Amino acid sequence: MSEGENPVNNPPQKPQELISAEAIADRVRKLGEEIARDYQGKELVLVGILKGSVLFLADLARAIPQLDVRLDFLAVQSYGDATSSSGVVQITSDLTKPIDDKHVLVVEDIVDTGLTMDYILDMLRTRHPASVKLCSFLHKPSRVKKPCAIDYLGFTIPDRFVVGYGLDYAQRYRNLPYIGVLD
């Protein structure tokens, strides 16, 4: 790859907006209300999948102040080609506290093939939580290889490469307040 082709050396392009910051804020607020209703009176562990879920997780946690919420994180690595997961998952950073008898809500940035998320949900269920559910900010149903139930969903999107609001390309664009499409 020549220096001009390396995305790290190229100046960033401005992604075309797909989902506005205002639409994101409104949807996260509504998800927070729904989660607060469903978990009323229960301690909830929000498990963010690093790195992409961080912005969504932070906003979601703030949208449910009426609950007793604990935050924890998993870092995973999926092997395969650059555009899809093989479903072979390596945990690179595990939870810091046990989840036995806790209500766990996995917070993910995007579910596309479902292979990685299926593995994560199955693995967490072996740790004897009271419940395990999934909240995904985005879903690309056209790419599903292994269906997994998304209990709380932000947005369904077409099969486009998206960045912003935690999602990246070559570690760029995570800080955008909207979801954008790269050409």
Q: Enumerate the active-site residues.
A: 112
In a 3-state reduction of DSSP, which class is residue 168? Answer: coil
In a 3-state reduction of DSSP, which class is residue 143? Answer: helix
Q: Give the integer Cα–Cα distance in Å for 64 and 83.
A: 33
What are the strands, taking DSSP E only, across the chain? 16-19, 43-50, 68-79, 88-93, 103-111, 131-139, 152-156, 162-163, 179-181
Segments in the chain forming alpha helices (H): 21-38, 54-62, 115-125
Report which of 145, 117, 118 is spatially closest to residue 52, judged by C-alpha positions.
117
Residues 109, 110, 112: CA angle, nearest 5 degrees:
165
Q: How many CB atoms lie within 10 A of CB 94?
A: 11
